[in-house]
Amino acid sequence: MKLRFTDAEEAFRKEVQSWLREKLPKRLSEAVRCGKHLTKEDLEEWHRILNQRGWLAAHWPVEWGGTGWGVIEQFIFDMESALAGAPRIVPFGVNMLAPVLIKYGSEAQRRFWLPRILDGSDWWCQGFSEPGAGSDLASLKCVAERHGDEYIVNGQKTWTTLGHFANRIFCLVRTDPSAKKQQGISFLLIDLATPGVEMRPIVLLDGRHEVNEVFFTNVRVPAGNLVGEENKGWTYAKYLLTYERTNIAGVGEAMAALAWLRRVAGSVVVTGQPLTRDPYFAARLALVEIALENMKITNLRALAASGEGGGSAASSMLKIKGTEIRQEIASLARRALGPYAQPFMPEALEQDFHGVLPGPRDAGALAVQYFNLRKLSIFGGSNEIQREIVAKSLLED
């Protein structure tokens, strides 16, 4: 596969670039580039702008409000959005739950939930990981017992990203405690306003409240909120994780970060020459660039495979390399910025340093992102687990 766009694809790329220049609010792109905190309102604003253009749900079928794009168009849009400094689409509803509903949900569920995801009526979060059940997700203990036309849910979820912004959560719950680990698990949709739900914040190394713990105490959930069949949730979770891992890899974000790194490193003078000409730094930079070019192809393969309901090995490879590349870029950026790479107080990020490089304005993004990117090695299934998936796939072939 060669990453060479046709004339029609180049025309689409220019259309996307033009639209982003016109519709992407400058304050949002500046905030993204400077590593500033995006509020719930900021993320909802970009969600609305994309939905108004019909470009929110890139991989959904057209009949449900999708774009009808192929994998190349999806790749181009993600790449150009990242290079323009657009906020990432919050993935939980659009890119994670929706594919599961489209493939495994009932007609009534699709008709009710999908429009609400598009128009922003519902903000979803993910209830998978638990204390003692992270990478070994099948060990989850959150229990849902069937009582007539509802389930009673008891247990705990953790690392729930942006759960404090959400009004709903999709959960893996154990509905048959006597079954083997990967059996007896169901996929349940829960309203976070239901009595018995409690959310507690977890503050990360970068000082931000991004993730949460969620506790369920005798939470009553309508049986109609069960997706697919009872005790088949593991199948649905594996399908969802293919989309999550592809999203975590962040090919577009890595491309934008690499372009930023080259700009910053090129302005740093070491022993009379730009840092990009230092042999050691240049070698590391070249290795990252080569890996990123290879990852673009893997990304296209993963997108194509996920649309066909497969591709777990491709998405696992993408997740491994994507996270390693983004972490290496952040590490090189810290080296380039030197003492400016120390963490900064939030007030420092509000200053305008008029583009002088390197300086606090550039380090502001890095000081936050470097620590935050440490989590990528374990999010969506640790990289060790992803290597096992890849190895198993190769042995089966």
pTM of the model: 0.86
Per-residue model confidence (pLDDT) at position 370: 81
Per-residue model confidence (pLDDT) at position 356: 47
Q: Catalytic residue among 80, 130, 244, 253, which?
A: 244
Within the chain, all domains assigned CATH 2.40.110.10 are found at 123-231
**Which band of pLDDT confidence, cut at 50, 70 and 90, is reported for residue 390?**
confident
* 92: enclosing H helix or E strand: none
Query: Between these two residues, 257 and 20, which has the higher pLDDT value?
Result: 20
Task: Tell me which residue of 301, 351, 295 sits closest to 325, measured CA to CA.
Answer: 295
Q: Which fold has domain 7-104?
A: Butyryl-Coa Dehydrogenase, subunit A; domain 1 (1.10.540)
3-state SS class at 219: strand
- What sign has the CA pseudo-torsion 6, 9, 13, 18? positive
Query: Between these two residues, 307 and 100, which has the higher pLDDT value?
Result: 100
237 Cβ contact partners less than 8 Å away, ≥ 6 residues apart: 128, 137, 172, 185, 187
Within the chain, all domains assigned CATH 1.10.540.10 are found at 7-104
* 158: enclosing H helix or E strand: none
Q: Is 244 part of the annotated catalytic residue set?
A: yes
Q: What is the CA radius of gyration of the chain?
A: 22
**Distance, CA of 324 to CA of 329 (rounded, Å):** 9
Mean pLDDT of 389-395: 81
Within the chain, all domains assigned CATH 1.20.140.10 are found at 250-396
> What tens digit of pLDDT does each residue of 98-121 get?
999 999 999 999 999 999 999 999
Domain at 250-396: CATH code: 1.20.140.10
Query: Between these two residues, 74 and 198, which has the higher pLDDT value?
Result: 198
> What tens digit of pLDDT does each residue of 340-378 get?
776 655 555 454 444 445 555 556 667 777 888 888 888
Residues across the chain: 397
> What tens digit of pLDDT does each residue of 115-142 get?
999 999 999 999 999 998 877 888 999 9
**Distance, CA of 18 to CA of 14 (rounded, Å):** 6
* 189: enclosing H helix or E strand: strand 185-191
> What tens digit of pLDDT does each residue of 227-284 get?
999 999 999 998 998 777 667 678 888 998 899 899 888 888 888 899 999 999 999 9
* 333: enclosing H helix or E strand: helix 312-337
CATH of 123-231, one of 3.30.930.10, 3.40.470.10, 2.40.50.140, 2.40.110.10: 2.40.110.10
**Which band of pLDDT confidence, cut at 50, 70 and 90, is reported for residue 384?**
confident
Strand (E) positions, the chain?
124-127, 143-147, 150-157, 168-174, 185-191, 197-203, 209-222, 226-227, 269-270, 273-274
**Which band of pLDDT confidence, cut at 50, 70 and 90, is reported for residue 305?**
low
- What sign has the CA pseudo-torsion 358, 359, 360, 361? negative
